[in-house]
Amino acid sequence: MEFTVNLGSKSYPIIIDRSIASRMPDILKTDFPKSRFALVTNCTIAKLYASMIDSWKSSLNLAVHEMPDGEQYKTIDTWEAILDFLIRNKFERSSVLIALGGGVVGDVAGFAASAFLRGIPFVQIPTTLLAMVDSSVGGKTAVDHPLGKNLIGAFWQPKRVFVDTAFLDTLPQNEFISGYAELFKYGFISGRAMFDFVKRNNDAMLNREPDVLLQGILKSVEAKADVVSQDEFETKGLRALLNYGHTFAHSLERFYNFSGVLHGEAVLWGMKCAYNLGKRIGTVASSDYSIFESVMASMPLPALPGKPDPESLYSMMFTDKKVESGKVRFIVPTTPGVSIVKGDIDSSDVIATLKEIFG
């Protein structure tokens, strides 16, 4: 399956299928006949997929750079090491950088592609569910700074994205659930059909039934591509909807000092908070409570490392980089599949919601 992210001259195809990665070298050789290819991955994926990478090395004459594994390496030092590798190997402006990995590899390699020789073509091959449904599409690239996540980066759209669901076979369950949170999220922001799809297929997707999961990933990627096409640089408010559940999630992650809870796990709790907040302030009509709650009940909520303190969670929301003029924006549901951004919610409603859930 293939469809396009429509961004004028920056449009690109997303090619989705099980085992599509095996066709990647032929597709790239056809699409970039005069280019040299560099691949950035991490040490975990390099080991798991060594024979696949070896076969790519011979068919594409690839030079491979391995970065260490982990969010703690999403740094300017890792970015600089990728640039060193590109410079030492005499890559050129026409060269293509391929990122093979989860969101961390994609973000830092994409940022390196955006900066090397003022920008070279970049291809994403996501290997986590989170990267497939979220980070590989949309062109946000970044590294973290000691004072905050993703503070240094660029918008740099890939030229191709290959989504191969066979990579998920080796993905640990907690990472799978973390990525599933982002897929589940589209059920709240991408229209009634997506809400119904998630409601109907939640269990099958959680059981990793290949065909249903592929459908869910396809629908998620289409939803993200649609938002990105309309709001590439996050200036029109549409892209903000992708942060459904994230205002709460970011403060949870900060509360636990980014340890013991994966991003998507925090997003699952964040979506529960967002729904309860919507219910409290009346954006959700009582006639819709039961349909929403039947979906919420199927959400795979993970255990948290300890009981979070509602007041601290609330104050941590103000350190989020998405806070504008001291106002925290929340995304709350209205009807199944539809959510809105609200910047004028009373602190007492937010704190009461946090107490209701964590109190």
Ligand X SMILES: NC(=O)c1ccc[n+]([C@@H]2O[C@H](COP(=O)([O-])OP(=O)(O)OC[C@H]3O[C@@H](n4cnc5c(N)ncnc54)[C@H](O)[C@@H]3O)[C@@H](O)[C@H]2O)c1
**Residue numbers annotated as active site:** 118, 140, 182, 224, 234, 239, 243, 246, 250, 263
Q: Is 140 an interacting residue with respect to ligand X (CB under 6 A)?
A: yes
Chain positions 12 to 31 lying near ligand X, rule: CB under 6 A, are none
Q: Which stretch binds ligand X (CB under 6 A): 95-103, 117-125, 248-256, 271-279?
A: 95-103
Nearer CB in complex with ligand X: 266/277: 266
The neighbouring-strand residues paired with 289 are none
Q: Is 44 an interacting residue with respect to ligand X (CB under 6 A)?
A: yes
Q: Is 281 an interacting residue with respect to ligand X (CB under 6 A)?
A: no
Q: Where are the alpha helices (DSSP H) in 126-191?
A: 129-130, 173-189
**DSSP letter (8 states) at residue 20:** G
Give the CA dihedral 324, 328, 318, 347, nearest 10 degrees: 140
CB 225 to ligand X: min, Å: 12
State the Cα–Cα distance between residues 223 and 191, nearest whole angstrom: 9
Do residues 128 and 103 lie in contact, with contact meaning Cβ atoms separated by under 8 Å?
A: yes
Q: Which stretch binds ligand X (CB under 6 A): 97-105, 185-193, 281-289, 294-302?
A: 97-105
Which of residues 113, 131, 249, 345 is near ligand X by CB under 6 A?
Answer: 131
CA distances to 28, 30, 202 from 23, in Å: 9, 11, 30
Q: Which stretch binds ligand X (CB under 6 A): 27-35, 79-87, 104-112, 274-282?
A: 104-112
Q: Is 220 an interacting residue with respect to ligand X (CB under 6 A)?
A: no
Do residues 252 and 261 lie in contact, with contact meaning Cβ atoms separated by under 8 Å?
A: yes
- Give the β-pairing of 148-155 and 140-145: antiparallel
Q: Is 101 an interacting residue with respect to ligand X (CB under 6 A)?
A: yes
Q: Is 138 an interacting residue with respect to ligand X (CB under 6 A)?
A: yes
- Minimal CA–CA distance to 152: which of 78, 75, 82, 86? 75
Q: Where are the alpha helices (DSSP H) in the chain?
A: 24-31, 43-48, 50-60, 76-88, 103-115, 129-130, 173-189, 192-206, 210-230, 246-255, 263-281, 289-297, 310-316, 347-358
Q: Is 243 an interacting residue with respect to ligand X (CB under 6 A)?
A: no
Question: One symbol per residue from 47 to 86: x for binding ligand X (CB under 6 A), - otherwise; what is it?
Answer: -x--------------------x-x--x------------
Chain positions 165 to 184 lying near ligand X, rule: CB under 6 A, are 167, 170-171, 175, 178
- Binding residues for ligand X, rule: CB under 6 A, are 42, 44-45, 48, 69, 71, 74, 101-105, 107, 127-128, 130-131, 134-135, 138, 140, 149-150, 167, 170-171, 175, 178, 263
